[in-house]
Structure 1
Amino acid sequence: MHPRSTVNKDALVQAVAEASGLSKADADNALKATVDAITATVAGGDKIVIPGLGTFEPRDRAAREGRNPQSGETIQIAATTVPGFKPATAFKNAVAGK
């Protein structure tokens, strides 16, 4: 198995620019607007479904007991809402090489 590489934002912007015919600046603005819209929607309690990619949604995490790793002391971890992502079948299949 070969090591995986990480694609940074600049490389993603370049790929979007090339695939869409947008300038690099316009692709950067489009990516930023997309991320901002997803963030604001999920932070507002709604979910976003992007066919072929997946669903971004807020998920409630219940309060629970945990342990302080330094002291071993039991602590209470408060309930919180976290962002969640569920990949679409097409996305999962593409990653799996199917």
Structure 2
Amino acid sequence: MNNLLPNQLTTQNMGQRRMAKALSKAELVEAIAAESSVNKAEIEKVLSGFTTATTKLLAAGNAVSLPGLAKFETRDRPARQVRVPGSGKVIDKPADKALKISALSALKDAVNT
């Protein structure tokens, strides 16, 4: 399989592009442990606490910023009509919240250097 650049993708070779595999939680814990002096059990507790706290804060309408990495926030989406792709039927979708995650400039700069 070829590792194609984005501007080389066509509808014929779209499936040939290799996507980076996301780390599992265990792999992330291992990577953090290798970069710090904190043991894996403590790292897992912190990650679980971060996940729980971030979820609760976002559900309450707060934004969460992880300095140097990303900002998590919710945005209100108004009620709207949407088309069901399979049937073409138009249905009413109630108002809801959309999650937005933005990479901060420090992360963007680090990735692009």
Tell me the TM-score range normalised by the shorter chain.
0.7 to 0.9
Structure 1 residues without counterparts, runs of 5 or longer: none
TM-score (norm 1): 0.86
The residue aligned with 1:43 is: 59
**Structure 2 CA distance for aligned equivalents of residues 20 and 43 of structure 1:** 31
Please name the residue that 2:101 is paired with.
85
Q: Which one-letter code corresponds to 2:65 in the other structure?
A: V
Within 5 Å, give how 1:64-79 maps onto structure 2: 64-79=80-95
Structure 1 or 2, whichever has the larger Rg, is 2
The counterpart of 1:31, out of the listed 24, 47, 54, is: 47
> Percent identical across equivalent pairs?
34
- How far the C-alpha of 1:54 sits from its partner, in A, is 2.0
CA distance, structure 1, for counterparts of residue 21 and residue 110 of structure 2: 17
Stretches of 4+ aligned residues off by more than 4 angstroms: none
Aligned-CA RMSD value: 1.6
Q: What is the distance in 1 between the residues matched to 2:33 and 2:47? A: 10
* Structure 2 length-normalised TM: 0.76
CA distance in 1, matches of 2:106, 2:28: 20
Paired residues, what number?
97
Displacement after TM superposition at 1:93 (Å): 2.0
Q: Deviations over 1:60-98 (max 9, x none)?
A: 112221111221111111110122211101112223x23
